[in-house]
Amino acid sequence: MAVSLTHLEKSYQDPSGKSFRVLGPIDLRIETGEFLCLLGPTGCGKTTLLRILSGLEQADSGKVSLGAGRFGYVFQQGALFPWMNVESNVMFPLKAKGMTGSECRSRAAEMLNHVGLYGFSKSFPHELSGGMQQRTALARGLVTEPELLLLDEPFASLDTRTGINLQEMLRAICGRLSTTVIYVTHSIEEAVYLADRIVVMGHSPGRIVRNESLNLKWPRSRLSSEFTEILLSFRQTFEKLVDPSATLSS
Q: Which is nearer to other proteins, 51 or 203 (CB)?
A: 51
Q: Which of residues 76-115 bind other proteins (CB under 8 A)?
A: 76-77, 79-81, 92-93, 96-97
Q: Which is nearer to other proteins, 93 or 131 (CB)?
A: 93
Distances (CA, A) of 144 to 13, 104, 148, 168, 221: 36, 10, 10, 20, 31
Residue 126 interacts with other proteins (CB under 8 A): yes or no: no
Residue 17 per-residue DSSP state: S
DSSP assignment of 145-163 equals: --SEEEEESTTTTS-HHHH
**Cα(76)–Cα(48) distance, integer angstroms:** 13
The distance of closest approach from Cβ of residue 69 to other proteins in the complex, given in angstroms and rounded to an integer, is 12
Query: Which of 18-26, 54-62, 187-195, 234-242 is the region at the interface with other proteins (rule: CB under 8 A)?
Result: 54-62
Which member of 7, 20, 31, 55 binds other proteins (CB under 8 A)?
A: 55
- 162 and 82 in contact (C-beta within 8 Å)? no
Q: Which is nearer to other proteins, 96 or 223 (CB)?
A: 96
The distance of closest approach from Cβ of residue 201 to other proteins in the complex, given in angstroms and rounded to an integer, is 21
Burial class (CB in 10 A: 0-12, 13-18, 19+), 92: middle
Residue 211 interacts with other proteins (CB under 8 A): yes or no: no
Residue 124 interacts with other proteins (CB under 8 A): yes or no: no
Residue 155 interacts with other proteins (CB under 8 A): yes or no: no
Residue 75 interacts with other proteins (CB under 8 A): yes or no: yes
- 102 and 141 in contact (C-beta within 8 Å)? no
Q: Which is nearer to other proteins, 81 or 229 (CB)?
A: 81
Which member of 4, 6, 54, 187 binds other proteins (CB under 8 A)?
A: 54
Residue 246 interacts with other proteins (CB under 8 A): yes or no: no
DSSP assignment of 140-204 equals: HHHTT--SEEEEESTTTTS-HHHHHHHHHHHHHHHHHHT-EEEEEES-HHHHHHH-SEEEEEETT
Residues that bind other proteins (CB under 8 A): 51, 54-56, 71-73, 75-77, 79-81, 92-93, 96-97
